[in-house]
Chains A and B, each alone.
Chain A
Amino acid sequence: MSSDLRSLADVNRLIHEPSRSVILAILGVVESADFLYLQHETGLTKGNLSVHLSKLEVAGYIKIEKTYRDKIPLTLCRMTEAGRKAFDNYRNQLKLFVENTKE
């Protein structure tokens, strides 16, 4: 296998899933976002979003905080430092692959 293909094969599969990459891209530009905003922006169902967030939390890429605002439950998600590094690394891998392939 060539090094270009190997770099694509080594890409972080957890982040490579489109919904999870959108979630991380959003959380990368804010301090925190709540469940409703992420659902609105990704267009995922509650169940699907919950599953994706749980996977990212288990990997240590995001932190989920359950709190209340005016007696209304609020689920806040924020990206961890490990998540930021993993996402940057993922972007660099993809960029490298695109740069090294002909159109």
Chain B
Amino acid sequence: MPDDLKNSQLRTLQYFYVDGSFEFGLGLLCLILAVFFYAETHVQGWLSAIVDSSLVLVMIGGFWLINRLIKLLKERLTWPRTGYITYNRQNDRTRGWRIALGLVTGGLVGALAANLATTPNLHIAVLPLLSGVLLGFVMVVLGWRTSILRFHLLALLSTVLGVALAYSSIENIVGLAIYYLVFGLVLFACGACVLRTYLLKNPLPSKERPDEL
């Protein structure tokens, strides 16, 4: 029985990732970034300055879009099949610490990337390497927190892709565009497999809602 209780709690914590909507959302964000970096290599003059400075807007817009996409998928596919859950919100202090940690880490990685990317005698493309390792690390943390194996596999794939692109004599920004394109497509494929399994396991129940209290 204690094992049943533990498994029930674990399944409840994993429920957010049960339908692959997270992978679809993150995959979409990666594809948006791939288009952004591809555009960066092809625009020149004043347009280039605008594209360069719009990365923050692209990220904010991307996060808004993936939130919408995940909510839409869950509303249409998941909640009518296996139910609805809201998770505990972090308190303001924890959220503040996390945001601060994220900003400091982002700033340090950004500064390191800018420094390494302009180092003259470096023969590897540092930006795809850093992206691959960083996103890989995020996936490892996610896998560790949720005990979901596929996140560890995605972490491995992200790191291998980043390292491969770093040593492939491709220019930094082109490497980034390729990294986000490939990893975005991998995330989409992974999300599609997870969603297919979920839909096969959980057919839509009859129209009548089971709320009989």
Interfacial residues, chain A to chain B (CB-CB below 8 A): 18, 21-22, 25-26, 28-42, 46-47, 50, 53-54, 64, 66, 69-70, 72-76
Chain A binding surface, main DSSP class = helix
A41 engages B5 (CB within 8 Å): no
By a CB distance below 8 angstroms, the chain A residues around B12 are 26, 29-30, 33, 41
Cβ of B4 within 8 Å of any chain A Cβ, yes or no, is yes
Q: What residues of A have a CB within 8 angstroms of the CB of B85 in the complex?
A: 30, 32-34, 37
Which residues from chain A contact B4 at a C-beta distance below 8 Å?
18, 22
Q: Does B97 contact A (CB under 8 A)?
A: no
Return 25 A-B CB contacts under 8 Å, by A number: A21-B1, A21-B5, A22-B5, A26-B12, A28-B9, A29-B13, A30-B12, A32-B86, A33-B83, A34-B79, A35-B210, A35-B211, A35-B213, A36-B82, A36-B84, A37-B82, A37-B84, A38-B83, A40-B82, A54-B213, A72-B209, A74-B84, A74-B211, A75-B211, A76-B84
B84 touches A33 (CB 8 A): yes
Cβ contact of B210, chosen from A28, A33, A36, A42, cutoff 8 A = A36
Ranked nearest first, the 9 interchain pairs of A and B with the lowest CB-CB distance are A37-B83, A36-B83, A75-B211, A34-B84, A25-B5, A31-B86, A46-B212, A35-B211, A31-B88
Q: Which residues of chain A are within 8 angstroms of B205 by Cβ–Cβ distance?
A: 36
Picked from A18, A21, A30, A38, the residue with its CB within 8 Å of the CB of B86 is: A30
- Note all chain B residues with C-beta closer than 8 A to A30: 12, 85-88
Q: Who on chain A is nearest to B212 by CB? A: A46
Q: Contacts of A35 on B, CB cut-off 8 Å?
A: 83, 209-213
In the bound complex, what is the Cα–Cα distance between A64 and B209 (angstroms)? Answer: 16
Residues of B1-23 at the interface with A, using a CB-CB cut-off of 8 Å, are: 1, 4-5, 8-9, 11-13, 15
Which residue of chain B has the shortest Cβ distance to A18 in the bound complex? B1
